């Protein structure tokens, strides 16, 4: 599924960048992918994916 249609970034790529720690903001995701935001429609979805990743990490750390 494409997250950013303007730059053809799919959810797999975005999740990999977020999980690797290479990107902690939507702008950083674009930078890490070698592109720039254009229309901006993907920014809320990317922010949500980052938040979900942080929540999952917090739960994982709490379980340790
Ligand atoms: S959908 Fe990402 S900049 Fe347009």
pLDDT per position as a tens digit, 5-63? 999 999 999 999 999 998 999 999 999 999 999 999 999 999 999 999 999 988 888 98
For the stretch 23-43, what's the b/e string if a residue is b when 16 or more beta carbons lie within 10 angstroms of its beta carbon? beebeebbebbeeebeeeebb
What is the predicted pLDDT for the residue at 40? 98
Report the C-alpha gap between 7 and 47 in whole angstroms.
16
> Containing domain of residue 42, as a range?
2-63
pTM of the model as a whole:
0.90
What is the predicted pLDDT for the residue at 64? 79
Mutation test residue for ligand 1: of 8, 13, 33, 38, the one with most atoms within 8 Å of CB: 38
Number of domains in the chain: 1
58 near 24, Cβ under 8 Å?
no
What is the predicted pLDDT for the residue at 36? 97
Whether 42 lines ligand 1, by a CB cut-off of 6 Å, is yes
């Amino acid at each position: 599924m494409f997250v950013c249609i303007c730059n053809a970034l799919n959810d797999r790529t975005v999740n990999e960048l977020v999980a690797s720690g290479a990107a902690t903001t939507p702008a950083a995701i674009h930078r890490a992918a070698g592109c720039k935001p254009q229309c901006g429609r993907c920014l809320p979805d990317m922010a949500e994916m980052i938040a979900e990743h942080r929540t999952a990490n917090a739960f994982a750390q709490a379980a340790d």
